[in-house]
Amino acid sequence: MTSFQAMVLEAPKTPLVLRTRTTRRLASGDVRIRVQACGVCRTDLHIVDGELPDIRCPLVPGHEIVGTVLESGRSDSRFRPGDRVGVPWLGWSCGSCAYCTSGRENLCSKARFTGYRIDGGFAELTDADERFCFPIPSEYSDVQAAPLLCAGLIGYRALRLAGDARRLGLYGFGAAAHIVAQVAKWQGREVFAFVRPGDDDARRFALALGAIWAGPSDEAAPEQLDAAIIFAPAGLLVPAALRAVAKGGTVVCAGIHMSDIPSFPYRILWEERVLRSVANLTRADASEFLALAPKVPVRTHTVPFPHTQANEALAALRDGKVIGAAVLTTASLT
């Protein structure tokens, strides 16, 4: 057994606590990973703040993990000691239900999620099902790669579900949007960025990444959109986005949690507009996006914190003070 440090959520709505933990016997099919970096996602905030159901504590959050394999639970593992891998939000699915067998494992009713149902990466060590681990492109450092594993993957799935829209609106310009904007521009789309009113830093950031317009989310875009993706967890943005898209346009809600959507008149949904959500990701999403990212190439903008400062990183994210993505690093890297 090996001792390691982890930032642990002992009860929702309380700060994480630094604890010393001990490894358990490695299950067959799992790999043990020395965590080098772990992104800090808004979903981590929803978990820590008690906004998601059935949070089982004590829990180690974190689901944008990049690290090095130390050992495998079986001799015929896909990975060998020293391999660099990433671990995303979807950490396990049953493989046999109607969703799993039809390429929709993201909807598996028994699915388990890293940093929510499975201890995650706000720690020095973590164990993960090797089937849900992915090689990391060599073009990225550990810190640069971490946001790709949720902000990138969920953003990519949301972009695909938005269809082939040429004029794309992004509501909330944080970790996911700053990656999606780069992919969308590379695909030849026009990006319109909607930021928190008064957030000039985010507006300038969006324009620097190629948005052709950036403005506050309570203002209308200069022209109608073909689709919009909402990354901000604010339900009031749904009617705004529906009003912003043209006939036949699509509005994608990309978060796992959102405040209540206010009532709105049917006329802003009519004319074949589509309102849909994104739930989790599939392994196919991960394989496709991690192969695509270096081709764009996606450049992640990161703000690093030592893993022992997870509370500070979460607070900065909560207060809208992170431009790009916050990433925790292990002590050996700080």
Mean pLDDT score, 13-36: 96
Mean pLDDT score, 68-76: 92
Tally of CA atoms within 13 A in the half-sphere of 25 that contains its CB: 3
Alpha-carbon Rg for the chain in angstroms: 19
Mean pLDDT score, 90-105: 98
Query: Cα 242 to chain center, whole Å?
Result: 24
With pLDDT > 70 as the criterion, what percentage of the chain qualifies?
99
Can you give the pLDDT at residue 184? 98
The tens digit of pLDDT for each residue in 205-239 reads 999 999 999 999 999 889 999 999 999 999 999 99
The CATH H-level (homologous superfamily) assignment of domain 3-150+281-333 is: Medium-chain alcohol dehydrogenases, catalytic domain (3.90.180.10)
The tens digit of pLDDT for each residue in 180-210 reads 999 999 999 999 999 999 999 999 999 999 9
Looking at the domain that runs over 153-277, which CATH code has it been given? Answer: 3.40.50.720
Whether residue 112 is predicted with pLDDT greater than 60 in this model: the reply is yes
Whether residue 44 is predicted with pLDDT greater than 50 in this model: the reply is yes
Cα separation of 113 and 61, whole Å?
Answer: 10
Can you give the pLDDT at residue 265? 98
Can you give the pLDDT at residue 331? 57
Whether residue 332 is predicted with pLDDT greater than 60 in this model: the reply is no
Whether residue 116 is predicted with pLDDT greater than 90 in this model: the reply is yes
Domain definitions of the chain by residue range:
3-150+281-333, 153-277
What confidence tier does 1 reach under pLDDT thresholds 50, 70, 90?
Answer: confident
Q: Which amino acid is at 309?
A: Q
Can you give the pLDDT at residue 74? 87
Can you give the pLDDT at residue 5? 97
The tens digit of pLDDT for each residue in 277-299 reads 999 999 999 999 999 999 999 99
Whether residue 333 is predicted with pLDDT greater than 70 in this model: the reply is no
Can you give the pLDDT at residue 334? 35
Q: Is 148 exposed, middle or buried (0-12, 13-18, 19+ CB in 10 A)?
A: buried
Q: SS3 string of the chain?
A: CCEEEEEEECCCCCCCEEEEEECCCCCCCEEEEEEEEEEECHHHHHHHCCCCCCCCCCECCCCCEEEEEEEECCCCCCCCCCCEEEECCEEECCCCCCCHHHCCHHHCCCCEEECCCECCCCECEEEEEHHHCEECCCCCCHHHHHHHHCHHHHHHHHHHHCCCCCEEEEECCCHHHHHHHHHHHHCCCEEEEEECCCCHHHHHHHHHCCCCEEEECCCCCCCCEEEEEECCCCCCHHHHHHHHEEEEEEEEECCCCCCCCCCCCHHHCCCCCEEEECCCCCHHHHHHHHHHCCCCCCCCCEEEEEHHHHHHHHHHHHCCCCCCEEEEECHHHC
Can you give the pLDDT at residue 256? 93
